[in-house]
């Protein structure tokens, strides 16, 4: 049985009663990376039923940095399930196993940097078939918290995360299904959400095998904390400092170095190389939030290599 850490229950894996907030969001996110193929991506769906739509994002990076990408805002009227825009999420065993499936089209971009101008990217790149059919099975504890109304959290009042082993198939364009085997992280948030309500942050997730994963969250200056998942245990990273290499004259990260101090006072260092990148954004009320997503290869100071995601969210005035 999977260990649970925090004031959460296995049943929290399912959707919750729709809240009264106009911007109530219930979202699930799954990233997945195959270290043998150097291929990976993520799927995300956020129900915003009080606003009448869901946010649906899928991306798969290829080893050469090209990518299949789609974003939709399909209409929804309830929060009973995650099933919109071609993406469906099925809870097979609460707190332990989930199936994600996307079947539809996606933009195929040889250079995903074209998403700096989404209108032109969608106009100038072809659409191809994309099928993602994956099963995510827990390799570590489910951990998180359930917040209370009025706590001031307008981004992720209630939130869970878990490191996962991932198996399944991808169908890219007109090709045959490709077997997929790797690892990833999932998260689940519910409560009010405006993307503009959170300060700038850097969020790193990585998996090095069934026995070892990591999550690091910092502010926009790269100062924060995190944890290592070591089997069924979570080891706190009491302080983390990210030093980032950016592409020239841009917000687009290309590499990073993390200095970590663990709860026992020991130190670890992690380097990251971005293997595939896409610049995304969220606009609301005239404010432009930049979200840079990078498929990242991580190397620990002992030489162990893993894969994951580096997400850099930057708010104005820096997100110009």
**pLDDT tens digits for range 41-95:** 999 999 999 999 999 999 999 999 999 999 999 999 999 999 999 999 999 999 9
Dist CA 17 CA 183 (whole Å): 31
Whole-number CA gyration radius for the chain:
18
Report how far apart the first and last C-alpha atoms of the chain are (Å, whole number): 47
DSSP 8-state code for residue 118: H
Q: Can you give the pLDDT at residue 197?
A: 64
Q: Could you read off the pLDDT of 186-212 as tens digits, one per residue?
A: 999 999 877 666 889 999 999 999 999
* 6 token code pair: 């925090």
> Looking at residues 273-295, what average pLDDT do you find?
89
Q: Can you give the pLDDT at residue 199?
A: 85
Q: Can you give the pLDDT at residue 228?
A: 98
* 101 token code pair: 């499936």
* 246 token code pair: 């950016």
Q: Which residues contact 126 (CB under 8 A, 6 or more apart)?
A: 107, 108
> Looking at residues 269-283, what average pLDDT do you find?
94
Q: Domains of the chain: which residue ranges? A: 23-314
Q: Can you give the pLDDT at residue 194?
A: 74
Confidence of residue 231 (pLDDT cuts 50, 70, 90): very high
- By the 8 A CB rule, do 292 and 263 touch? no
For the cut 80, the answer to whether the pLDDT of residue 318 exceeds it is no
Phi/psi at 115 (5° precision): -70, 0
Q: Which CATH number fits domain 23-314: 1.10.3720.10, 2.40.370.10, 3.40.50.300, 3.30.70.890?
A: 2.40.370.10
- By the 8 A CB rule, do 290 and 319 touch? yes
Predicted TM-score (pTM) of the model is 0.95
For the cut 70, the answer to whether the pLDDT of residue 292 exceeds it is yes
């Amino acid at each position: 049985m999977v260990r649970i850490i925090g004031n959460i229950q296995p049943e929290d894996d399912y959707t919750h009663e729709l809240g009264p907030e106009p911007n109530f969001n219930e979202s699930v996110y799954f990233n997945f990376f195959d270290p043998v193929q150097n291929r990976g991506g993520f799927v995300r769906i956020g129900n915003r039923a009080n606003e009448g739509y869901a946010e649906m994002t899928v991306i798969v990076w290829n080893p050469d940095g090209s990518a299949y990408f789609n974003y939709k805002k399909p209409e929804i009227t309830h929060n009973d399930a995650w099933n919109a825009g071609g993406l469906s999420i099925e809870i097979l065993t609460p707190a332990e196993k989930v199936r994600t499936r996307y079947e539809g089209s996606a933009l195929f971009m040889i250079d995903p940097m074209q998403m700096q101008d989404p209108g032109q990217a969608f106009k100038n790149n072809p659409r191809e078939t994309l099928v993602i059919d994956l099963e995510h099975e827990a390799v570590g504890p489910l951990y998180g918290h359930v917040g209370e109304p009025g706590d001031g959290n307008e981004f992720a009042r209630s939130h869970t995360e878990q490191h996962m082993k991932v198996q399944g198939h991808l169908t890219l364009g007109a090709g045959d299904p490709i077997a997929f085997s790797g690892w990833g992280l999932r998260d689940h948030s519910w409560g009010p959400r405006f993307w503009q309500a959170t300060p700038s942050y850097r969020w790193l997730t990585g998996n090095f095998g069934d026995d070892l994963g990591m999550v690091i969250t910092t502010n926009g200056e790269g100062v924060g904390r995190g944890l290592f998942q070591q089997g069924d245990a979570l080891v706190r990273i009491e302080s983390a400092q990210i030093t980032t290499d950016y592409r020239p004259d841009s917000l687009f990260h290309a590499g990073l170095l993390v200095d970590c101090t663990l709860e026992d006072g020991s130190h670890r260092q992690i380097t990251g190389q971005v293997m595939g990148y896409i610049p995304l954004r969220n606009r609301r009320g005239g404010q432009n939030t930049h979200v840079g997503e990078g498929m990242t290869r991580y190397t620990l100071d002992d030489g162990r290599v893993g894969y994951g995601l580096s997400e850099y969210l930057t708010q104005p005035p820096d997100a110009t």
